[in-house]
Each structure stands twice: as C-alpha cells, then as structure tokens.
C-alpha cells in the first residue's frame, strides 16, 4: 500500500466504554485487541498513525497517543483533538468500535475526498467514522464545543460535506462497518465464520 503524504490517520479510543465493561479498543476479538485491526488496516496508508485515548495500555502499539484536549466532549471532541494534532491538511478518523474495515476500502474512500468532510452511508444511515475531515474545520469545531453542541451528525450536516455509499466501495459493507459495543456483540463476532482469515 502506498503511503499518502497528504493525510494522517487517527483512531478514536477515548470513550468511556460503559457498554463494553472494559476498555473497548483493548477488548480482544479472536485474540487481538480491536484497535490493532485498525492499526494494521491503516498501516502504510498515510503519513502518520495516532490514537486519541487515555488508557495507558495504548502505548503498547508503538504509535503516538494523545488525550482529548477538551475532555468529556465525546466523538466531536475527538475529531477536534485529532485535527489539532494533525500535521497534514486532512485526517482519516476511525473509531475503535468498528475494527473490521479493510485497507482497500479506505484507499477508495481517500480517493473520493475533495472537500471539507467525507463520510459514508449504509441504507438511510450516515456514519461519521471512518471519515475524512479537513483541518480547516478547527474553528467551527471549537465553536461547537464551546457552545456544547456535541452531535457529530449535526456538525456534518451544518458544514460542507460529501456522502459516499459504503456499498459502492466495499464488497462486504455489513461486515466492515459493524459496530462492536457490548460483550454480547463481541461474542457474536467471535463466533462469526466471516471473520476467519481477517
């Protein structure tokens, strides 16, 4: 996979993981921490990889770990932190609870980016992550955070954005964009035959 010098990767792992009952990104799926799947999928895709999180065990992966600049503001705060540390004009931002996204899908996504925000849809639902966000959004993000307007989807709708159907760029979108947020969901994916070989 060719490194793209114009984009940086950030994986959000700063949530409270209350539904999982343990640190979500470190929860193991087939013996491997969920966040490790995303680190491997994005390796070689970008100029740099970083984690936005607060758990000390994220240091084991050998990439920079940044804590939220403005704590307790959810995913929107994570985007703000990522773009604040971003050394390029744009960032590919992923969430650790969707560990099954494949490199080739992300490559296709990056190729479609040509503005401020690019996110995907499945059916009638919009997914903020993975998403590509321009660093030029920092003033608007800070304004939202200061006003306590924290809904990511509202922020996307209120700023120039482009939507792409995951079905158009993924051979198995239901698998790749599955969210794993509870022990029951984790167990179900542990048993899923489709995960063999990933």
**Is residue 169 in a domain?**
yes
Report d(CA 95, CA 108) in Å as an integer.
Answer: 18
Q: Residue 13: its pLDDT value, please?
A: 94
Closest CA to 8 of 58, 42, 34, 36: 42
Q: Residue 2: its pLDDT value, please?
A: 57
Separation of CA 73 from chain center:
16
**Is residue 24 in a domain?**
yes
**Is residue 197 in a domain?**
no
pTM: 0.94
**Is residue 198 in a domain?**
no
Report d(CA 82, CA 11) in Å as an integer.
Answer: 9
The domain spanning residue 70 has which CATH number? 3.90.550.10
How does pLDDT run across 89-122, given as a tens digit for each residue?
A: 999 999 999 999 999 999 999 999 999 999 999 9
Q: Which domain holds residue 19?
A: 4-191
Residue with tokens 């650790």: 96
**Is residue 21 in a domain?**
yes
In this predicted structure, the answer to whether residue 1 has a pLDDT above a threshold of 50 is: no
For 11, 15, 23, 27, 51, the CA distances from 92, given in Å and listed in that order, are: 8, 18, 22, 22, 12
Closest CA to 122 of 79, 180, 185, 168: 168
Question: How many domains does the chain fold into?
Answer: 1
Closest CA to 13 of 32, 36, 43: 36
How does pLDDT run across 12-59, given as a tens digit for each residue?
A: 997 766 667 689 999 999 899 999 999 999 998 999 999 999 999 999
How does pLDDT run across 155-195, given as a tens digit for each residue?
A: 999 999 999 999 999 988 888 988 898 888 888 888 775 66
**Is residue 66 in a domain?**
yes
Strand, coil or helix: 130: strand
- Residue 171 corresponds to which tokens in the numbers above? 């051979």
Q: How far apart, in Å, do the first and last CA atoms of the chain sit?
A: 17
**Is residue 84 in a domain?**
yes
**Is residue 115 in a domain?**
yes
């Amino acid at each position: 996979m060719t490194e793209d010098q114009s984009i940086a990767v950030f994986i959000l792992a700063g949530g409270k993981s209350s539904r999982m009952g343990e640190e979500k990104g470190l929860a193991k799926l087939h013996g491997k921490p969920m966040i490790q799947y995303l680190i491997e999928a994005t390796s070689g895709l970008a100029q740099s990889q970083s984690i936005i999180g607060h758990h000390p065990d994220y240091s084991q992966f050998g990439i920079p770990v940044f804590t939220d600049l403005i704590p307790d503001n959810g995913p929107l705060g994570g985007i703000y932190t990522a773009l604040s540390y971003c050394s390029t004009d744009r960032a590919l931002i992923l969430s650790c609870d969707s560990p099954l996204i494949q490199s080739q899908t992300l490559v296709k996504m990056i190729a479609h980016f040509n503005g401020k925000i690019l996110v995907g849809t499945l059916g009638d639902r919009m997914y903020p992550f993975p998403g590509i966000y321009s660093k030029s959004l920092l003033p608007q993000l800070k304004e939202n955070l200061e006003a306590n307007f924290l809904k990511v989807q509202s922020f996307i709708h209120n700023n120039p954005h482009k939507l792409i159907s995951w079905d158009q760029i993924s051979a198995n979108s239901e698998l790749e964009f599955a969210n794993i947020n509870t022990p029951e969901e984790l167990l179900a994916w542990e048993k899923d035959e489709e995960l063999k070989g990933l």
